[in-house]
Amino acid sequence: MDNNAAASAEVSERSPDASRAPSRRTVVKAAAAGAALAAPLAAIPAARAADGPAFLHGVASGDPLPDGVLLWTRVTPVPEASPGSGKGPDTEVRWEVAEDKDFTRVVRSGTITAKAAGDHTVKADVRGLRQASTYYYRFSVSNGGSGGNDGGEGGSPVRSPVGRTRTAPTHEASAAGIRFGVVSCSNWEAGYFSAYRHLAARTELDAVLHLGDYLYEYASGGFASSGDVVREHRPRHEILTLADYRTRHGAHKSDPDAQAMHGTHPVIAIWDDHEVANDAWSGGAENHTPATEGPWAARVAAAKQAYFEWMPVRPATEGTVYRRLRFGRLADLHLLDLRSFRSQQAGVGSGDVDSPTRTITGRAQLDWLKSGLTASNATWQLVGTSVMISPVAFGSLPAYLLKPLAKLLGLPEGGLAVNTDQWDGYTHDRKELIGHLRDKAVRNTVFLTGDIHMAWANDVPVTAATYPGSPSAATEFVVTSVTSDNVDDFLNVAPHTLSLVGVAAVKAANRHVKYLDMDSHGYGVLDVTEERSQMDYYVLSDRADPHATSSWARSYRTVSGTQKVERVHAPVR
């Protein structure tokens, strides 16, 4: 990662008022009240002067800690300094954190330089905050582009939108509950990011988990099964270079719904494959041709640099996103990187999927995960994984479903039942991890997953073939896509008109699958208490409608100590 992408912040000596008791959510705000609060925090910046600086890509926060949070923005110092252009002067940016949105009680502040070498993005890793508390933040530059908050000779400062964020409970705190929005798979061309807007309105959330495919690398029209492009990619061609990846990240951060979500909640993100290229592995990708697109290593380096510049992510290790966050004694959140270290995908039907020489995690990451699970004293072990860990056999599906499922899951249209891009293609790693959970009596492990463009609620069986006669070692909640194509989109039919037969067939062949929605777009809300972890699934009315409504679809929970999923007939209120 380019050091300029995450320059360290200069923290002031002022400290928060330690006498104030930590605040905590007690009830869920009404959606209308949430929208009223969220709207002014995530407002689109006003049009800039012809030659003045502006904050055109909103603000963001991420990776909350008990004493701090990572803040992000991008400044456009001059009009020609568009994302990926490499143009524009280095610019001093001031940041402030306050206890109120009017900034009458500023508790931390500092300055940081936005450099052309870092695409004029900045990150401030702010510490010294109170645990489990809400804060407000903003950035500013002088009208001349080089001054501080008071404007100096450049005149009045230009300020960013005001962001809202939240810190985590202290590591040993007995948190009453935590609540996360959960999203995945946001293809710009396939629709609008209404899921982000609805999550922004829920101001009771502690954070939003983005489980991968924040953007897609294809050329315009390259991943639209129906042939419909709702809005064109920027740039229109497939992204390959650092400038390309920066430009596309910039386009996504220009989206008003994305700005609303980032400006209202800390976002905890991991990547999957499309942040680089489809079906990526450590040495290449299905959607990369070295002869015409250059060395794979160069493309990966460009994609990762742009990602760390543009995302509010605090990398634990250079070039990876696997890391661990804690939310009191209630939950440890283990976040995985399942692209940087994996072996190449095996062919469907190949016995290589069982080889102990093949890995999806890499040895170091798997050992890190196992030791973290064993050492944790938290009630819940939440594992953010970009691809599904539950085994899935597809059995005998009707012919009309084989083609869309083949595209989504990498199956041959003749119908063999394995998706080798998921943990099904790396069964030795999965067996080792599930065996570890069982042998070490690690309880209450919940895998949180994206990627597959469908919603699932699964038990994770020790032996799928004999389940439920054999036990479950964990549970898994999979969220559907924000916009990316799923089965009804591939079939170009109304949702749930043809896929219900497929749902029944999949569930019949996989008794550990308790819920499957092949067609909807939406998001999840995960609510965790000492007694249970519950996922509420929400669906959008129309991904192509920028004003799409959201409605509750289903809820499933796992009760502490059971390792099983059960249906709940109402969302958490």
In-domain check, residue 186? yes
Closest CA to 333 of 461, 183, 446: 446
Q: How many domains does the chain have?
A: 2
At a CB cut-off of 8 Å and minimum separation 6, what does 92 contact? Answer: 111, 112, 113, 114, 141, 142, 146, 147, 148
The pLDDT of residue 415: 40
Among residues of the chain, what percentage have pLDDT more than 70?
84
Confidence at 128, pLDDT banded by 50, 70, 90: very high
Regarding whether 187 and 157 lie in a shared domain, the answer is no
Regarding whether 203 and 129 lie in a shared domain, the answer is no
Tokens (6 digits) for 554: 């289903």
Cα–Cα distance, 511 to 5 (Å, whole number):
47
Regarding whether 489 and 376 lie in a shared domain, the answer is yes
For residue 88, which amino acid is it?
G
The pLDDT of residue 271: 98
Whether residue 466 has pLDDT greater than 50? yes
At 153, give phi and psi (nearest 5°): -70, -15
The CATH number of residue 141's host domain is 2.60.40.380
What's the mean pLDDT when you consider all of the chain? 87
**H or E segment and range at residue 256:** helix 256-264
Regarding whether 142 and 183 lie in a shared domain, the answer is no
Taking a C-beta distance cutoff of 8 angstroms, is the pair 316, 368 a contact? no
Among residues of the chain, what percentage have pLDDT more than 90?
75
Cα–Cα distance, 258 to 267 (Å, whole number):
11
Which range, of 84-98, 101-115, 349-363, 512-526, averages the lowest pLDDT? 349-363
Of 165, 192, 224, which residue sits at a domain end? Answer: 165
Whether residue 2 has pLDDT greater than 50? no
Whether residue 407 has pLDDT greater than 60? yes
In-domain check, residue 171? no
The pLDDT of residue 225: 59
Cα–Cα distance, 532 to 566 (Å, whole number):
11
The pLDDT of residue 26: 26
Provide the whole-model pTM.
0.89
In-domain check, residue 172? no
For residue 316, which amino acid is it?
A
Taking a C-beta distance cutoff of 8 angstroms, is the pair 201, 38 a contact? yes
Confidence at 308, pLDDT banded by 50, 70, 90: very high
Regarding whether 534 and 468 lie in a shared domain, the answer is yes
- C-alpha Rg value of the chain to the nearest Å: 23
| Beta partners for residue 280, in sequence order | 285
Closest CA to 201 of 312, 40, 69, 63: 40
Cα–Cα distance, 162 to 40 (Å, whole number):
8
Regarding whether 326 and 413 lie in a shared domain, the answer is yes
Helix, strand or coil for residue 76? Answer: strand
In-domain check, residue 170? no
The pLDDT of residue 484: 95
Q: How would DSSP label each residue in 242-309?
A: HHHHHHHHHHHHT-HHHHHHHHHSEEEE---STTT-TTEETTEETT--HHHH--HHHHHHHHHHHHHH
Model confidence pLDDT, tens digit, residues 339-377: 999 999 998 777 788 899 999 999 999 999 999 999 999
Select the more confidently predicted residue: 197 or 494.
197
Cα–Cα distance, 370 to 381 (Å, whole number):
11
Regarding whether 246 and 137 lie in a shared domain, the answer is no
Regarding whether 99 and 220 lie in a shared domain, the answer is no
Model confidence pLDDT, tens digit, residues 436-456: 999 999 999 999 999 999 999
Model confidence pLDDT, tens digit, residues 31-70: 233 333 334 344 444 444 457 899 999 999 999 999 999 9
Which range, of 139-153, 201-215, 367-381, averages the lowest pLDDT? 139-153
Cα–Cα distance, 438 to 379 (Å, whole number):
16
At 538, give phi and psi (nearest 5°): -120, 140
Count Cβ atoms below 10 Å from residue 395 Cβ, excluding itself.
14
The pLDDT of residue 276: 98
- Tell me, letter by letter, the H, E, C secondary structure of 199-248: HHCCCCCCEEEECCCCCCCCCCCCCCCCCCCCCCCCCCCCCCCHHHHHHH
The pLDDT of residue 418: 58
At a CB cut-off of 8 Å and minimum separation 6, what does 85 contact? Answer: 243
**H or E segment and range at residue 528:** strand 522-528
Is the backbone of residue 441 left (phi > 0), alpha (psi -120 to 50) or beta? Answer: left
Regarding whether 376 and 504 lie in a shared domain, the answer is yes
Q: Which domain holds residue 96?
A: 3-165
Of 130, 165, 200, which residue sits at a domain end? Answer: 165
At a CB cut-off of 8 Å and minimum separation 6, what does 438 contact? Answer: 462, 471, 473
Regarding whether 190 and 158 lie in a shared domain, the answer is no
In-domain check, residue 290? yes
Tokens (6 digits) for 340: 């940087």
Burial of 571 from C-beta contacts in 10 A (0-12 / 13-18 / 19+): middle
Regarding whether 336 and 249 lie in a shared domain, the answer is yes
Q: What is the mean pLDDT of residues 482-502?
A: 86
Regarding whether 248 and 143 lie in a shared domain, the answer is no
At a CB cut-off of 8 Å and minimum separation 6, what does 257 contact? Answer: 192, 193, 194, 195, 196, 197, 200
Whether residue 396 has pLDDT greater than 60? no
Select the more confidently predicted residue: 473 or 397.
473
Confidence at 494, pLDDT banded by 50, 70, 90: confident
Which range, of 6-20, 114-128, 358-372, averages the lowest pLDDT? 6-20
The CATH number of residue 413's host domain is 3.60.21.70
